[in-house]
Amino acid sequence: MSVLKILPDIYSVGVVDWDVRNFHGHTYTTKRGTSYNAYLIIDDKITLVDTVMGSFTAEFIENIKQIIAPEKIDYIIANHVETDHSGALPEMMRLCPKAKIFGTAKCREGLYKHYYGNWDFQEVKTGDKLKLGKKTLNFIEAAMIHWPDSMFTYCPEEQLLMPNDAFGQHYATSERFDDEVDQCALMDEAAKYYANILWPLSSVILKKIEEIQKMDLPIKMIAPSHGIIWRKDPAKIINAYISWAKNETKPKVAIVYETMWGSTGKMARKIAEGIIQAGISTRIFDVAVTDRTEIIREMLDTRGFLFGSSTHDNDMLPAMAGFLELVRGLRPKNRVASTFGSYGWTGGAAKEMEVVLKEAGIDIASGGPSFKYLPDEREMKACYEFGSDFAKIIKGG
């Protein structure tokens, strides 16, 4: 990524990772790559806000060198410990050993437990201000958005919010701003990020947005640590976050299934026919072959979930088991779910899936069809009718 002045004396100095396809281990697929954003403020005190993934350290330092000699940096703001933002910090501290790091108490602890560096670190709390010269930085603790150490940094003179991972997207682009990129791709990636990373933290997010709104901080620009910067319409992403955090849903159904010899798949498609005939939108996903990150993104604003699995070893199939474990951790609210599937002898998949859904606190609609071996005509009709009945529940809100 080339260096870009985003505001007077504030530069984007981060890097684009065009090639990354898996994130957080293999929990999140990044089909569009990502960027690790960092910002350099030139003032009486030269200040760097966040760094980048360690493997991009050389490119990052080259970017900084286009503006100033790195050793001139006085302050480094560490909004978040995670290595995709702190990875270049050890090298930065080697280059500018007198630089002082600012972050939360949890950030101090977390950075130490990652790098074991003996660095000058000043703990900050919500309400603390740091005068740089002409510009000021205000700090807002943001615990669990999305780690205990997370913090937002706000520059009142420029009405700029630098919230690190919040409002970010895994979206590699040569453009830097929201008005320069495809809106569908942008919102798709923003929703995917929320669904796969922030969804279980919704109540914390909603409270934090309310807190910031009460602080009466005008926000002209939001510069996150991944993806594009929101300058044209920062309210668009804030409002989207409020809606996602409230678990607001649309009347549609996600059918997620796994099948051994095709019967459960056949049932899934017949159930979908009943749903569509009742006027409700639906998507069918074979969980064994579909990208989980994409399914979760689709589920974010979907009111109805149907999970289907053949019975295997008296339980659900393994890809479904893994997927439901993921859903359980995401703690969706205001949803209705049911289960279906084919079995050979005693069955068990439907029951086991319901156990996980109950633990996840998801309401279960009864009547999900379970049939032996290949469903006959009467049983296929029952699938269709179940789809139709489930659609009515979803329509009713």
Partner 1 sequence: MAKYKCMVCGYIYDPAVGDPEHGQPAGTKFEDLPADWVCPECGVGKDQFERMN
3-state secondary structure of 12: strand
d(CA 280, CA 272): 9
How many positions of this chain bind partner 1 (CB under 8 A)? 11
The separation between CA 392 and the C-alpha centre of its own chain, rounded to angstroms, equals 31
Which is catalytic among the residues 28, 39, 154, 193?
Answer: 193
Q: Is the dihedral of CA 167, 283, 386, 344 positive or negative?
A: negative
3-state secondary structure of 308: strand
Q: Which of residues 99-128 bind partner 1 (CB under 8 A)?
A: 104, 106
The answer to whether 178 is a known catalytic residue is no
Antiparallel, parallel or unpaired: β 129-131 and 136-141: antiparallel
Query: Is 372:344 a contact under the CB 8 Å cutoff?
Result: yes
The answer to whether 26 is a known catalytic residue is no
The token pair at 312 is 């295997």
Residue pointed to by tokens 């139709």: 388
The answer to whether 312 is a known catalytic residue is no
207, 220, 250, 358: which one binds partner 1 (CB under 8 A): 207
Residue 201 sits in the site that holds partner 1 (CB under 8 A):
yes
Q: How far is the CB of 85 from partner 1 (least distance, A)?
A: 18
Q: How far is the CB of 121 from partner 1 (least distance, A)?
A: 17
The answer to whether 17 is a known catalytic residue is no
Q: How far is the CB of 108 from partner 1 (least distance, A)?
A: 13
Of 245 and 382, nearer to partner 1 (C-beta) is 245
Distances (CA, A) of 358 to 40, 150, 164: 48, 31, 34
Distances (CA, A) of 383 to 252, 259, 274, 345: 18, 16, 8, 20
Residue 281 sits in the site that holds partner 1 (CB under 8 A):
no
Of 144 and 185, nearer to partner 1 (C-beta) is 144
Contact region with partner 1 (CB under 8 A), list: 155-163, 203-211, 332-340, 373-381: 203-211
Contact region with partner 1 (CB under 8 A), list: 138-146, 184-192, 267-275, 374-382: 138-146
Residues annotated as part of the active site: 24, 80, 82, 84, 146, 165, 193, 226
Task: List residues near partner 1 by CB under 8 A.
Answer: 104, 106, 141, 143-144, 148, 200-201, 203-204, 207
